[in-house]
Amino acid sequence: MTHPQFVNRQDWLAARKALLEKEKSFTRERDALSAARRELPLVLVEKDYVFDTEDGRKSLADLFGPHPQLAVYHFMFGETWQEGCPSCSFWADNYDRLDTHLAARGTRLIAVSNAPLETLRAYKSRMGWSFDWVSTAGNGFGVDFGVTFPDKKDPTGRGYNYSGNDTVHSEELPGVSTFLKLDDGRVGHSYSTYGRGLDILNMAYNILDLTPMGRQEDDLPYPQAWVRRRDMYRGDA
């Protein structure tokens, strides 16, 4: 902001109240959208996915633990990568210490990646994270849920973020998927979101959106060009 506008407190209050009406309208629309999201039909997950976890090999149903709901963050970390994606690491910094709160509402959050469990464990230790993180162990989960694209091609034909494009710019892309486990043990896929749909999970972005200068990304080569892994910034944190 090179030329901020200054007004007296009374004029500021009038402008703030006008914006508040828009904020309230947006909140009501968001509540209605969340309600519509909860009304989406489910797709039965029939493939027998097996994951490598800290407690051995587990099925998708096992990943729920005692809870009926599972939220999966699709973390970009390819099978041969030595480091996780900087942007996914930026998001993942928001996930620690949520487990108790989510459990109080019957929900478990885990991260899932294609890299081997040992590689994930080492990177998790480096970043100081404690959230649950499992490896797909080559089970095709990332391809089936729209985040893994071998040779930058989508064999499903859906395209990233339901675009229908069978060619993408990366072999790994981020997303979130949610699942419901029924009393009989069956698992239903309820929702997935990608791209800007993940913004709501990033507290840093949500805080920056409240500030006068915002995200400060308009003049960058791409929006997250400024993002580094938390141990790679230089200068003031």
Regions of the chain where pLDDT drops below 50: 237
Q: Which amino acid is at 190?
A: S
Q: Which residue type, as a one-letter code, is found at position 195?
A: G
Helix, strand, coil fractions of the chain, as percent rounded to 5: 35, 20, 45
Place of tokens 């034909």: 157
Distance CA 47, CA 122 (A): 29
CA–CA separation, 150 vs 91, rounded Å? 24
Is the dihedral angle over the CA atoms 32, 34, 37, 39 positive or is it negative?
Answer: negative
- Provide the pLDDT for residue 1: 62
Whole-prediction pTM: 0.94
Going by C-alpha positions, the residue among 93, 97, 106 that lies closest to residue 207 is: 93
Beta carbons within 8 Å of 48's beta carbon, 6+ residues apart: 59
Q: Is 110 helix (H, G, I), strand (E, B) or coil?
A: strand
Position 237 scores a pLDDT of 46
Helix (H, G, I), strand (E, B) or coil at 228: coil
